[in-house]
Amino acid sequence: MIFVPPKNLVQAVNEAMMTEMGLDDSVVVMGEDVGVDGGVFRATLGLLEEYGEDRVIDTPLAESGILGTAIGMAAYGLKPVAEMQFSGFMTPSFDQFISHASRIRWRSRGRFSASLVVRAPYGGGIHALEHHSESQEAIYIHTPGLKTVIPSSPHDAKGLLINAIRDPDPVVFLEPKKIYRAFREEVPEGDYTVPLSACNVSREGSDLTLVSWGYVHRLCLEAAEEAAEKEGLDVEVIDVRTLSPLDFQTIADSVTKTGRVVVAQEAPQTLGFASEISARIMEDLILYLESPVIRVTGFDTTMPYHELEDYYMPDVGRIMRGIRKSINF
Amino acid sequence: MPKLTLVQAVNDAHKAEMRRDDRVIVLGEDVGVDGGVFRATVDLIDEFGSERVIDTPLAESGIVGTALGMAVYGMRPVTEMQFSGFMPPAYDQLMSHISRIRWRSRGRFEAPMVVRAPYGGGIRSPEHHAESPEVYYAHMPGLKVVIPSTPYDAKGLLIGAIRDSDPVLFLEPKKIYRAFREEVPEDAYAVPLGEARVSREGSDLTLVSWGYVHQVALEAAEMAEGVDVEVIDLRTINPMDRDTVVDSVRKTGRCVVAQEAPSVNSVASELAASVNERTFFSLKAPIERVTGFDVTIPLGSKEDRYIPDAERLERAIRRTADF
């Protein structure tokens, strides 16, 4: 057996595009510096050499133009994968998302669709400048017609991205840049998919359900270990993975078993996705709950920069406090 | 006291505040010579001239970007977007600059400006003319979001928004621009931002909404015989006056939140989540959300099936009361 070295998350993203471009000629990659430079985080490294400049396109610095062009390509049968350098710079393309990409199937009554992926590194944790650390998933989740996917591991990143590229509808694929190179795991060679719209129970438990996505999911796994060691608590951890459309059944199954829930996210609390999950659980499962759903989140301010972000983003200690609050309610 | 419609009250707010404060200027597409697509700025150019009432090109990003510069240097611009569905081109200015200028400059600069836009469905308009996009802006720290539901509040809240030292998005429910009149004082008065209003007292169930749906909620409260419904008009979406809702739910033990926007990750979800957290032991039933659907708002007469009506609200009231 040939030894396949384990890969980190950004290598897995790269491998997903490398694999799918080899299988499907209609897949094209475009964005700022994705070609010659290989992408600001090296996610598209080697694609230009392998597939040439007709399929790996360096664009001007113009997010709205990138997405607008991708919509046109997709409506005519290509499968564009567009990279935005940072999710904080997606806002100039907001109009293309809301007013066109998300609605082209609806507007044309199914005649056209926009089978495209917009990839962007998102979230804090690398002590970056303004506009480089936001967690803006909520605005895409609230938009009908868009799917929103956030992987938290190399294995899932590759399988989810391949599936996103194959999806007939537009997918916003947000990559937690804090853990691009944080750890490695085994990533199968070649072609495999991880289903969209399926949460992953990444740790089983019976006392409390801990729900999160992206980088914060890694913290939740740590918090679950600490809760077991220090408090003797058996915490079930769920990685949402696809935020829209949401696999609520997996969460519901867990909550009916544990009766207690903490939802953790990096984004500001007001109108964050944690609020949607909380509202849904309390609406559908109130008779199973032994305490209210606790949200552990960023704050309702602009994401601060440099080391101040350490005070903004949830850490294991804050998640532990959320767990204790729920247990001791 | 004159009886005004909501759009007349909005017009009156501009006039009252422009007379009082020279720094207030109005800019937008067709706001001058034409008087605004819904006539919200009618006559302003005649009274205040073309230096204070500025017809702009059709360029939403440019309008609010210009207003930001004006505001930073001491003016109090009020911009009109013709329809809230056309605000996404200005989203980057709002998200990346306007909402953060105070934060970015550590308080050295501020952006006392208002972005007004008619929003919501109900007038049989084409695509991009019927959205309820309050979530996109209320999830943005640094930007206030206000939605009036009556002529009196429209005038007072708009004046409060113009006087506010931070940027305010002011969404006007176009469906009820001319639906009814009420007495509106002639002077310049401000209704405080960030305060919900109990518009009907009751003891059995709390019904929270804003904009057009608040009028539907008042109707549903009358229809729900045998259930004494307290109706709350949220009025300001951000910052959200959760305290008023929590106080009411502690009294009634039951709550329904109604809105026009799609359900997923919406203001109704936020209210339900945060009120649940604080009233868990008072609740006799789950908080139910009555909302639009998770699809793009449809065109023509189909919007009647999308926007919550009094019957849908009444059913939710009964379900919650009977839980």
Place of tokens 């007072």: B156
Q: What is the mean pLDDT of residues A9-14?
A: 98
Measure in Å the smallest separation between the Cα of A161 and chain B Cα atoms.
Answer: 23
Considering only the beta carbons, identify the residue of A91, A144, A282 that sits closest to B295: A144
A138: which chain B residues are within 8 Å (Cβ-Cβ)? 135, 139, 265
**From A99, A278, A300, residue closest to B276, measured CB to CB:** A278
Chain centroid to Cα A221, Å, comes to: 17
Q: Of the candidates A94, A246, A302, which has its C-beta nearest B100's C-beta?
A: A302
Nearest to B131 by CA among B305, B297, B14: B297
**The predicted structure's pLDDT at residue A306:** 85
Residue A307 banded pLDDT, cuts 50, 70, 90: confident
**Contact residues, chain A, for B300 at CB < 8 Å:** none
| Cβ contact A19:A164 at 8 Å | no
Q: Is the pTM of this model over 0.95?
A: yes
Helix (H) or strand (E) holding A320: helix A316-327
Q: Please name the residue ranges forming H helices in B96-142.
A: 101-104, 134-138
CB contact under 8 A, A107 and B273: no
Give the pLDDT band (50/70/90) at residue A114. very high
Q: Are strands A242-244 and A147-149 parallel, antiparallel or unpaired?
A: antiparallel
Residue B274 to residue A275, Cβ atoms within 8 A: yes
What pLDDT digit, counting tens, does each position of B226-252 carry?
Answer: 999 999 999 999 999 999 999 999 999
Distance from CA of B101 to the nearest CA of A (A): 10
Secondary-structure percent of chain A, ordered helix, strand, coil, rounded to 5? 40, 20, 40
The Cα-based distances of A252 to A33, A169, A209, A281, B64 in angstroms read 43, 26, 10, 7, 43
Bridge partners of B117? B171
Q: B114-119 and B229-233: which strand pairing?
A: unpaired
Q: Do A141 and B92 touch (CB under 8 A)?
A: no
Tens digits of per-residue pLDDT, A231-285?
A: 999 999 999 999 999 999 999 999 999 999 999 999 999 999 999 999 999 999 9
pLDDT over threshold 80, residue A3: no
The answer to whether the CB of B145 falls within 8 A of the CB of B108 is no
| Cα gap B11→A94, rounded to integer Å | 30
The partner residue sitting opposite B289, judged by closest CB among A103, A279, A329, is: A279
CA distances from A6 to A153, A187, A203, B10, B321 (A): 12, 6, 21, 62, 56
Task: Encode pLDDT of A210-237 as tens digits.
Answer: 999 999 999 999 999 999 999 999 999 9
| Confidence bin at A106 (pLDDT 50/70/90) | very high
The residue in chain B having the minimum alpha-carbon distance to the alpha carbon of residue A261 is B277
Catalytic residues of A: 132
Q: What does the mean pLDDT of chain B come to?
A: 97
Indicate whether B302 pLDDT > 60: yes
Interface confidence, given as ipTM, is 0.97
Residue to substitute from A211, A275, A300, interface B, most B β-carbons within 10 A:
A275
- pLDDT band of residue A1 (cuts 50, 70, 90) is low
For residues A194 and A205, give the distance between their C-alpha atoms in angstroms, rounded to a whole number: 23
pLDDT interval class at A174 (50, 70, 90): very high
Q: At B209, is the secondary structure helix, strand, or coil?
A: strand
CA dist., res. B190 & res. B202, Å (int) = 27
> How high does pLDDT run on average in chain A?
97
Quick one: closest CA in B to A286, which residue? B286
* Chain B residues near residue A148 by CB distance under 8 angstroms: none
Q: CB–CB of B103 and A302 under 8 A?
A: yes
- Kindly write down the DSSP assignment for every residue of A234-275, as one continuous string: -EEEEE--EEETT-HHHHHHHHHHH--EEEEEEEESTT-HHH
- Read off the pLDDT of residues B105-131 as tens digits, 9 standing for 90 and up: 999 999 999 999 999 999 999 999 999
